[in-house]
């Protein structure tokens, strides 16, 4: 009897389907309760907009049908069934995307405002199409254990003789392994969602103020002229704290000029006035979030296979250096597209929706942010991979990596605020160095990039030395 091999990533998709189906079902019940309250208000003589009731009822029924598709496709994932899994999963994703587009194009007439948060609804449907039709496409054709093993053997053809060939071959295999695993799916979903939700929350006050000004009879151009100085003042105060650039007492709140007692405030002025202040604010938060999110991608790259004693068979055909550096490069190749996609989505939305800054300024600053985040990803991956090699426990690796990358900068800043001579502790973490990648002076940017690369080299070298001597 043939036994089906189901990747952990496909099981994760099924669990996510069931969770989202539960939320949709709960939303349907809440909508029914709300419709009941609205109907009661209408019968008591209060004015009720019948068109809005119709929209609520239609979308509630659609959500219930989509919840059914989620459940059916989730069961199909578990059974590795082509019809209920791949077909129904793709149908649900396309239907969800169509629904989101309807809300975008006709949202104003239905009382629904389009914002960056609306684009979050695209994330899981697009990921479903990607995973079901690309990453797991082989499973719908081959279900037996022998077939899957044969395919795995075919994908790892005779390795090249050179170390570079080994690394290239293992990198491709590890990218595939990461995407088909739990950490790959959760990392993509969490990172895209965190970045877009964070940007959406940052933009909510601006969008609400713009809407209010237009409703009061103002023109969009007037609202932009009103909002831009306010955004710059708020961003200036934020960067004054984040970059530790003086006390901020010299800022002239009533004008667009910034006067501080320290010459180092040129950095603040560069981020706020010479570059799009709103993008500078959002990109700085993305820079702070990236290292801790990276830990969810890399935490079990080494520890999982080491715990299962899987390297003893792989080392018959390749070297430890090829394995370790293949893991590093594959993690980088998974992370970089997410950085590019997130920055591009946020920049395009701000340009076309808010129209606060010229296109060339948004383009150049977005490319700068992509470069800075890409450079920061090097030490982040190196640190997580080091602890993944150090511990055979995936949970232990995740705990240490996330604590260091997420909480150490906060603790170091608190120590520095209470004892200024301890400020050097902040530079033991790559985040403080990475902020200098947004500095106006090019030589400072180069030094910051070199610092991040050296940080990555130290932890990559240390992790490789330990992995080379580790009993596998």
* DSSP string for residues in 305-331: HHHTT-HHHHTTTS-HHHHHHHHHHHH
Same domain, 199 and 131: no
Which DSSP helix (H) or strand (E) runs through 469?
helix 442-469
Contact yes or no for 282/202 (Cβ under 8 A) = yes
Instruction: Say how far apart CA 95 and CA 91 lie, in whole Å.
Output: 6
Instruction: Say how far apart CA 46 and CA 334 lie, in whole Å.
Output: 55
Compute φ and ψ for 107, nearest 5 degrees.
-65, -35
State the burial class of residue 253 (Cβ atoms within 10 Å of its Cβ: 0-12, 13-18, 19+).
exposed
Same domain, 297 and 228: yes
Whole-structure pTM value: 0.84
Question: And the tokens for 50?
Answer: 């019948």
Please check whether residue 24 lies inside any domain of the structure.
Answer: yes
Question: And the tokens for 273?
Answer: 């006035």
Number of domains in the chain: 2
Same domain, 213 and 361: yes
Please check whether residue 107 lies inside any domain of the structure.
Answer: yes
The predicted pLDDT at position 53 comes to 67
Same domain, 221 and 102: no
The predicted pLDDT at position 341 comes to 95
Question: And the tokens for 89?
Answer: 């999963």
Please check whether residue 151 lies inside any domain of the structure.
Answer: no
Please check whether residue 229 lies inside any domain of the structure.
Answer: yes
Same domain, 119 and 171: no
Same domain, 468 and 433: yes
Task: Return the residue matching tokens 């919840």.
Answer: 67
Nearest CA-CA partner of 335 in 396, 391, 393, 384: 384
Please check whether residue 152 lies inside any domain of the structure.
Answer: no
The predicted pLDDT at position 4 comes to 55
Contact yes or no for 69/27 (Cβ under 8 A) = no
pLDDT tens column, 304-333: 777 777 777 777 788 888 889 999 999 999
Same domain, 310 and 172: yes
pLDDT in tens, the chain (472 residues): 344 578 888 999 999 999 999 998 998 888 777 777 766 655 544 444 555 666 677 778 888 999 999 999 999 999 999 999 999 999 999 999 998 888 777 765 555 667 787 888 899 999 999 999 999 988 887 554 344 444 444 444 444 456 677 788 888 888 998 899 888 899 999 999 999 999 999 888 888 887 777 777 766 666 667 788 888 888 888 888 888 755 444 444 344 444 433 334 788 889 998 999 999 999 999 999 999 999 999 988 887 777 777 777 777 788 888 889 999 999 999 999 999 999 999 999 999 888 888 999 999 999 999 999 999 999 999 999 999 888 878 888 888 888 888 889 889 888 888 888 888 888 888 999 999 999 999 999 999 999 999 999 999 999 999 988 887 6
pLDDT tens column, 441-462: 999 999 999 999 999 999 999 9
Nearest CA-CA partner of 9 in 183, 139, 126, 230: 183
Task: Return the residue matching tokens 């309760």.
Answer: 33
Same domain, 243 and 176: yes
Task: Return the residue matching tokens 């260091």.
Answer: 404
The domain boundary residue, chosen from 85, 108, 140: 140
Please check whether residue 198 lies inside any domain of the structure.
Answer: yes
The predicted pLDDT at position 148 comes to 43
Rounded (10°) angle between helices 320-349 and 182-215:
10
SS3 content of the chain, % helix, strand, coil (to 5): 80, 0, 20
Same domain, 130 and 247: no
Instruction: Say how far apart CA 115 and CA 104 lie, in whole Å.
Output: 9
State the burial class of residue 5 (Cβ atoms within 10 Å of its Cβ: 0-12, 13-18, 19+).
middle
Please check whether residue 466 lies inside any domain of the structure.
Answer: yes
Contact yes or no for 383/459 (Cβ under 8 A) = yes
How far are the Cα atoms of 76, 287, 462 from residue 426, in angstroms, in the given order? 49, 15, 21
The domain boundary residue, chosen from 107, 140, 173: 140
Instruction: Say how far apart CA 22 and CA 349 lie, in whole Å.
Output: 30
SS (H, E, C) 246-283: CCCCCECCCCCCECCCCHHHHHHHHHHHHCCHHHHHHH
Instruction: Say how far apart CA 299 and CA 399 lie, in whole Å.
Output: 9
The predicted pLDDT at position 355 comes to 83
* DSSP string for residues in 226-239: HHHHHHHHHHHHHH
Contact yes or no for 91/152 (Cβ under 8 A) = no
Same domain, 415 and 328: yes
Q: Using DSSP, state whether 4 is helix, strand or coil.
A: strand
Same domain, 171 and 132: no
The predicted pLDDT at position 154 comes to 44
The whole domain housing 420 covers: 162-472
Q: Cβ contacts of residue 302 below 8 Å, gap of 6+?
A: 324, 327, 385, 388, 389, 467
The domain boundary residue, chosen from 105, 140, 175: 140
Instruction: Say how far apart CA 240 and CA 267 lie, in whole Å.
Output: 9
Contact yes or no for 351/359 (Cβ under 8 A) = yes
Contact yes or no for 288/195 (Cβ under 8 A) = no
pLDDT tens column, 291-311: 999 999 998 888 777 777 777
The predicted pLDDT at position 149 comes to 46
Same domain, 100 and 222: no
Please check whether residue 155 lies inside any domain of the structure.
Answer: no
Q: Using DSSP, state whether 144 is helix, strand or coil.
A: strand
């Amino acid at each position: 009897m043939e036994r089906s091999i189901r990747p952990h990533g496909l099981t994760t998709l099924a669990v996510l389907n069931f969770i989202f189906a539960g939320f949709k079902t709960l939303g349907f019940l809440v909508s029914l309760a709300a419709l009941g309250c609205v109907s009661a208000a209408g019968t008591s003589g209060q004015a009720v907009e019948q068109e809005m009731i119709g929209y609520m009822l239609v979308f509630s029924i659609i959500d219930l049908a989509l919840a059914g598709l989620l459940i059916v496709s989730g069961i199909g994932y578990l059974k590795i069934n082509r019809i209920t899994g791949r077909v129904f999963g793709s149908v649900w994703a396309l239907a969800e995307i169509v629904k989101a587009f309807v809300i975008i194009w006709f949202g104003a007439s239905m009382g629904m405002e389009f914002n960056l948060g609306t684009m979050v609804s695209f994330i899981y449907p697009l990921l479903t199409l990607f995973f079901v039709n690309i990453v797991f496409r082989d499973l719908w054709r081959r279900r037996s254990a022998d077939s899957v093993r044969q395919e795995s053997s075919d994908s790892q053809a005779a390795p090249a003789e050179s170390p570079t060939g080994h690394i290239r071959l293992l990198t491709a295999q590890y990218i595939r392994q990461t995407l088909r695993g739990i950490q790959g799916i959760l990392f993509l979903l969490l990172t895209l969602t965190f970045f877009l939700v964070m940007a959406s929350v940052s933009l909510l006050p601006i969008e609400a103020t713009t809407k209010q000004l237009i409703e009061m009879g103002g023109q969009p151009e007037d609202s932009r002229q009103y909002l831009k100085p306010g955004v710059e003042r708020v961003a200036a105060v934020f960067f004054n704290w984040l970059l530790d650039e003086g006390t901020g007492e010299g800022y002239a709140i009533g004008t667009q000029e910034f006067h501080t007692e320290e010459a180092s405030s040129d950095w603040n002025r560069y981020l706020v006035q010479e570059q799009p202040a709103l993008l500078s604010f959002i990109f700085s938060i993305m820079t702070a979030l990236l290292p801790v999110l990276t830990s969810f991608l890399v935490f079990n790259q080494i520890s999982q296979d080491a715990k299962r004693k899987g390297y003893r068979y792989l080392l018959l055909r390749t070297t430890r250096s090829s394995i370790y550096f293949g893991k590093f490069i594959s993690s980088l190749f998974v992370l970089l597209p997410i950085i590019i996609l997130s920055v591009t989505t946020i920049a395009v939305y701000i340009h076309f929706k808010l129209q606060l800054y010229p296109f060339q300024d948004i383009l150049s600053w977005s490319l700068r942010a992509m470069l800075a985040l890409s450079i920061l990803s090097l030490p982040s991956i190196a640190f997580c991979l080091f602890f993944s090699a150090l511990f055979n426990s995936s949970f232990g690796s995740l705990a240490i990596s996330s604590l260091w990358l997420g909480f150490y900068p906060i603790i170091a800043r608190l120590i520095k605020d209470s004892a200024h001579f301890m400020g050097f502790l902040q530079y033991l973490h790559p985040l403080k160095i990475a902020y200098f990648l947004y500095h106006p002076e090019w030589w400072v940017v180069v030094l910051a990039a070199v610092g991040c690369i050296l940080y990555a080299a130290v932890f990559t070298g240390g992790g490789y030395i330990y992995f080379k001597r580790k009993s596998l």
